[in-house]
Amino acid sequence: MAKAHILVTDDDEFTRDMLEGALASRYTVTTAAHGREALSLSRRQPFDLVLLDVEMPELDGYATCQELKAHGPTADWPVIFLSGRVTLDERLKGYEVGATDYLTKPFDVSELLTKIELAVAQRERSRYLSHEIEEAQNSVLAAANLYGEMGVVFEMQRQLTKCQNFADICRVFFDALSNLGLEGCLRLSGREGVLSRTASSECSALENSILDHIEHKGRQTIDALGEHTCIRHPNVTMLIRNLPMTPDHSVHSADDIDRMGRLRDNVALMAEGIVTYLQALNAHQAQQHVVRTTDIIRITRETLVDLVAQQHANRMQMEHILRNMTAEVEQSFIHLGLSATQEDQLTSTLQRHVAEVTALFSQVDEIETHLAQLVRKLER
């Protein structure tokens, strides 16, 4: 195990040499003659503990300690003050600037070694605990993010069940996509035709051309398209912006890459959910179409039946009128005093017109026959 590295800072050369000699067997020791040199050294290399004299020119021990504690990389270094000042106020100053301990001169070397050992060990324990806490927090955050992302997917699936058309599906999808911090394009095709949209508007010509390119792959796929992810299903095409399939490790952190992987999985689940719902929606719309067609056929059949019946009734009524008219005309011959020739002419004229009307009845018969055939077809 590597030795702990101690920075000894004192403006008295004898004290520095004495401390270096006392510590060298257990620790790696670096010395500094004043506070500014100590700060300069601290920016260039890490230390496990700093021994600080309080009374130093230009920058005393308290100010040096404050600088160390204010700088992130050095903030957790334990600092032990060595001072000839013994008052409580002096000790409080050391406490206020973040010191770990305070030894008054002259000090016992064995006591100093014990305090250094304890301070270094305490720092190691603190660092270990901090790492464990950070790992636990990261795990909690990752779990929260995971469940949060899955919650977005589940909510989208729930909202899909309320959708009645393509526009509703697009709205639900883009709401979910926004909640995942993503954006992109969606194209749906089916009984309603084709709808290509972004979250805010219809797709631009360029966006449509990209969706066309994805569709021309002609198979179900999830693939990279530059720095974007494209998803192709029957009737569903997606382009998700800035979600690379193979993120650059030199650009993205491990956490970012892990999250991108989860996002791709979640978007793929969303796409599959839309595909499934589209199938159900298309089946429902097809069923509604059948119901509407059946209703139209029923109404048409009933109308044709009524029309055939009305045609037959009209024919019977017309035949009755013609018979009555012929009988009345023939009866009137007695009172008109017509000659036989005139009666024959009038009768011939009347019979000719009756024959023409009767000929129309044959046409009506043909129409009735066609209507009856149509009714029988509609009843199948």
Residue 348 and residue 352: Cα distance in Å, rounded? 6
Same fold, 5-133 and 141-284: no
Task: Judge if pTM exceeds 0.75.
Answer: no
Q: What is the CATH number of domain 141-284?
A: 3.30.450
pLDDT in tens, 174-216: 998 888 888 989 999 887 889 999 998 888 888 888 888 888 8
Show me where the domains of the chain are located: 5-133, 141-284, 286-379
Q: What is the CATH number of domain 5-133?
A: 3.40.50.2300
Tokens representing residue 200 in the block: 């805010």
Res 143 pLDDT > 50: no
Q: What does 45-61 look like in DSSP terms, one character per residue?
A: S--SEEEEES--SSS-H
pLDDT in tens, 301-329: 666 666 666 766 767 777 777 677 777 76
Residue 263 and residue 269: Cα distance in Å, rounded? 10
* Exposure of 11 in the CB half-sphere (CA atoms within 13 A): 12
Nearest CA among 25, 26, 23, 29 for reference residue 5? 29
Non-local (6+) Cβ contacts of 240 within 8 A are 177, 182, 183, 184, 228, 229, 230, 231, 267
pLDDT for residue 300: 59
Q: Give just the sign of the alpha carbon dihedral 214, 216, 221, 227.
A: negative
205-211 LR contacts (CB < 8 Å, sep 24+): 207/239, 210/185, 210/239, 211/185, 211/187, 211/237, 211/239
Residue 130 and residue 117: Cα distance in Å, rounded? 20
